[in-house]
Structure 1
Amino acid sequence: MLDAARKVLLKSGVAAMTLEAVASEAGISKTGLYYYFSSKDALVFELVFSTLEGHAQAVQSAVATAETGGEALGAIMRETVHAYAPKMDDFRLAFMFGQVAGSAGVQWSPDQFARIRPLNAMIFGGAAALIEKRQTGGGKIEPRLLAFLAYLSALGLLTMKGMVEAQGDPLIYSDERLIDGFTQLFAAVDRS
């Protein structure tokens, strides 16, 4: 059902996405769809959540193999870019959907936000713990903030990539070169 919803959403957009269209694409009745999803908002949330959850698990696994804070920050960036660069529709769904769909009336509930927050801990927690363990002295950037900044770097890279490639003008630098550049910048956490 989520695959059918994704197809309808990407083909028609959120405003034109109806439960009837999703049910038809999935080959079930609308009543059958209502058994699993109480509304269009609930269905769209589950679609976005499943994308975010899979990504959070992959980042957590990649960070678990890091030995230094810089490696952990690099793992966040590398896993994020490698996961979404070949699937830009998933990236747009997970990270840009709220901006685009806001006018279509899709709203998340406090309970839905509560389900998303633990994913942030999965993405940032391991790197933050590794950085905190190795940091000495005061005046350092908060470890979780560093992990979040690494994540933002990857999301920014993907946003720029999506923007220029949609215009037929790819980035001058490869994904790997950009990830390596960011990783070198963030590796300074191990030297401070």
Structure 2
Amino acid sequence: MAEARRARQQRKRDRSREDILTAARAVLLRDGIASVTLEAVAREAGMSKTGLYYYFASKEALVFELMFAVWESQSERVRNAVDDVETGPEALAAVIRNTIGGFAPQMDDFRLAYLLSQVSGQSGLQLSPEQFTRIRPLNNALLSGTVEKLSETGQASVVEPRLLAFLAFVSALGLLTMKGLAESQGDPLLYSDEQLIDGLSKVFAAAAG
């Protein structure tokens, strides 16, 4: 009986936490980072500021969880795709495809995860050592499968496997940045997402030897 009650309470807490994150995301995307205050999020979530404090001690902690959720989902998506291929070049292509293809339909997620801290100025979005401790395993998980497959291939690549995998990932992020910039000005890129993915994959396949 007590165990069932604790389970119900935990499910309620999880739902409340998700409701808060959903509300914070809505405020951020609608009104901008400067408008993400605990008061605004509590109002959006239909709860008291005191109740929100039970889950998040600060705006910074709340925004970090929004960013972390995107990073975590991205890492899992890429890792699973890399697990499904055999060779190093195929793994590089999987990183590129599942970064560009994963974010292209959801550019708000991309901006939240990779651009927000750069454009928010002195909004206090500096990561703490504890937060970096949570992020680093995601980075390792995202790249480790590709590094392993590149190392197994036995071909002489232009650069060492870890750096090559990282460059494939950040090149995909760079393309997304340009795509977002062009589309925000009403002047879409000349090339389709599929052409960008295919072209960049071929470049890195060549680099992998």
TM-score normalised by length of structure 2:
0.87
Identity %, equivalent residues: 58
Which one of 94, 99, 104 corresponds to residue 123 of structure 2? 104
Which one of 36, 39, 63 corresponds to residue 20 of structure 1? 39
Moved more, 169-178 or 181-190: 181-190
CA distance in 2: counterparts of 1:2 and 1:80, whole angstroms: 23
CA distance in 2: counterparts of 1:140 and 1:133, whole angstroms: 15
Aligned length: 190
1:144 CA drift (Å): 1.1
Are 1:164 and 2:182 an aligned pair? yes
1:136 CA drift (Å): 4.4
Look at both structures and tell me which one has the larger radius of gyration over its CA atoms. 2
CA distance in 1: counterparts of 2:154 and 2:116, whole angstroms: 37
Secondary structure of the residue aligned to 1:103 is coil
Secondary structure of the residue aligned to 1:113 is helix
The aligned amino acid for 2:182 is: V
Name stretches of at least 5 consecutive residues in structure 1 with no aligned partner. Answer: none
Are 1:128 and 2:147 an aligned pair? yes
CA distance in 2: counterparts of 1:28 and 1:63, whole angstroms: 42
Are 1:151 and 2:197 an aligned pair? no
Higher relative contact order, chain-length normalized (CA < 8 Å, sep 6+): 1
CA distance in 1: counterparts of 2:43 and 2:99, whole angstroms: 33
CA RMSD of aligned residues (A): 1.3
1:145 CA drift (Å): 0.7
The aligned amino acid for 1:120 is: N
The within-5 A match list for 1:1-192 is: 1-136=20-155, 140-189=158-207, 192=209
The aligned amino acid for 2:206 is: A
Q: Is the 8 A contact 1:51 1:94 kept in 2?
A: yes
CA distance in 1: counterparts of 2:71 and 2:22, whole angstroms: 15
The aligned amino acid for 1:45 is: F
